[in-house]
Amino acid sequence: MQRPGWDEYFMEITGVVSRRSTCLRRQVGALIVRDHRILATGYNGAPAGMRHCLEVGCLREKQGIPSGERHELCRGLHAEQNALLQAALHGISIAGGVFYVTHQPCVLCAKMIANAQISKVVFRGAYPDRMALDVLLECNIELVRL
């Protein structure tokens, strides 16, 4: 059990990580933590080797696509996806970990989080995706909105 204050401490760090984001619409940061140790970080942006939206513009913005819809029409990966991929790339087991995210995960990320055996998700900002919360709750993942 984490002592009071850990959630707020790690959420502060997600804010710092989010500053690396190259997304023009929303800067998101994520951490995966276990036993008070940061195992992986992620922020939203284009895959390695691709030009970032900062350079080429936002396709979703140009097409007027609302937040929370048509995820496939985006150059970037979500912060949660990048944190999961970073852990996998470096062979770090994250089962039983806690995900800290500046914003509520979308349904795609929620399903990945569930399959990664994350035990808890802590987030601050809203995201228009009720199904994501339903997935996490059905998978018995503790949710904390700060």
Q: Which positions are annotated as active-site residues? A: 80
Is 23 annotated to bind ligand?
A: no
Distance (Å, rounded) from C-alpha 34 to C-alpha 11? 14
Distance between CA atoms of residues 25 and 21, nearest Å? 10
Largest CA-CA distance found in the chain, in angstroms, rounded: 46
52 is in an annotated binding site: no
Q: Pick from 36, 104, 45, 119: which is nearest to 75 by CA?
A: 45
Question: Phi, psi (5° rounding) for residue 141?
Answer: -95, 125
DSSP states of 64-107: TPPTTS-TTS-SPBPHHHHHHHHHHHTT---TT-EEEEEE---H
Residues making up the binding site for Zn(2+): 78, 106, 109
Residues making up the binding site: 78, 106, 109
